[in-house]
Amino acid sequence: MSGMSAIMGVMQSAARKASRNLLRDFGEVETLQVSRKGPADFVSRADRKAERTIHEELSRARPGYGFLMEEAGEIEGSDKSHRFIVDPLDGTTNFLHGIPHFAISIALEREIDGNPRELVAGMVYNPVTDDMWFAEKGRGAYINDGTRGGADRRLRPAQRTDFSDCIFATGVPFKGRPGHAKFLKELHKVMGTSAGVRRFGAASLDLAWTAAGRYDGFWERGLAPWDVAAGIVIAREAGLQVESLSGGNPEETGDIIVANETIFPMLEERVR
């Protein structure tokens, strides 16, 4: 068992509450596909609504904590040593197209012994599959997938050592953003020597799935802190090597690479 702390219970409860409306809205999206205006406005409302719910729930449980959120941005709290990092809907484009692969992502940063705040807890929840991935610093990483009588199961990353047997996850730079040519070179190098590359469109789930051994590694550039903060804690606690492709902290640079210690240098050589 994970021996989940009170704060993790609070984070999971906030995510589950926000997920009820998201699931309802996701059902609506499928009927909106046929309308000419399209569901984009509707989805951005769903996104903001989920964020408000999470903010209200976390603020009630931990008044004074700061926030960094995708929609509302930075909200300073009276307690400068704690900050939640929230993505209410990671995988918006999937959601918009009726693809059931999206997540709520919540992380917590804490100042320890006067040092700058560091990531200490993270959870990623896919409401459609009811998969709850979570980790706290020093306690290991777990999944509760709603089966097995609600028991938490420890995450174990893949231990493959041969690059040609590995499957990797990545993200493609959005249109209008720089980096397409560079990305295609990286993709060519990885695809040419591995068992395959997947692009599922939600970085938080890519990190959780790598922690669970579904993928052997993950790399992406140009991500926001709320895309990766929770997944970083989960991947690290599962025992994976997590670094930035451009030096520094991946949650700050937005350039991330993750794999087990054997595969990591092989992946890094191809994408750095």
What's the pLDDT score for residue 16? 98
> In 159-224, which ranges are continuous DSSP H helix?
180-191, 203-211
With a cut of 90, say whether residue 150 has pLDDT above it. Answer: no
Percent of the chain topping pLDDT 70: 94
Q: What is the domain partition of the chain in residue ranges?
A: 6-154, 163-271
Q: What mean pLDDT comes out for the span 34-57?
A: 85
Q: Is 237 exposed, middle or buried (0-12, 13-18, 19+ CB in 10 A)?
A: buried
What's the pLDDT score for residue 149? 66
Q: Which of 229, 231, 249, 262 is nearest to 108 (CA)?
A: 229
What's the pLDDT score for residue 136? 98
What's the pLDDT score for residue 36? 60
Only one residue has tokens 């997947």, namely 198
Percent of the chain topping pLDDT 90: 82
What's the pLDDT score for residue 272? 87
Distance CA 136, CA 138 (A): 6
User: Rounded to whole angstroms, what are the CA distances from 114 to 82, 234, 266?
Assistant: 12, 24, 37
Exposure class string for 149-176: b at 16+ Cβ within 10 A, else e: eeebeebebbebeebeebbbbbbebeee
Q: Is 163-271 a domain of CATH 1.25.40.10?
A: no
pLDDT in tens, 19-45: 999 999 998 887 776 566 667 788 888
Phi first, then psi: give them for residue 79, nearest 5 degrees: -90, 100
For residue 2, what pLDDT band results from cuts at 50, 70 and 90?
Answer: low
Q: Do domains 6-154 and 163-271 have the same CATH topology?
A: no
Q: What mean pLDDT comes out for the span 91-105?
A: 94
- Please state, rounded to an integer, the average pLDDT across all residues of the chain: 93
Homologous superfamily, domain 6-154: Fructose-1,6-Bisphosphatase, subunit A, domain 1 (3.30.540.10)
What's the pLDDT score for residue 145? 79
pLDDT in tens, 160-213: 999 999 999 999 887 667 788 889 999 999 999 999 999 999 999 999 999 999
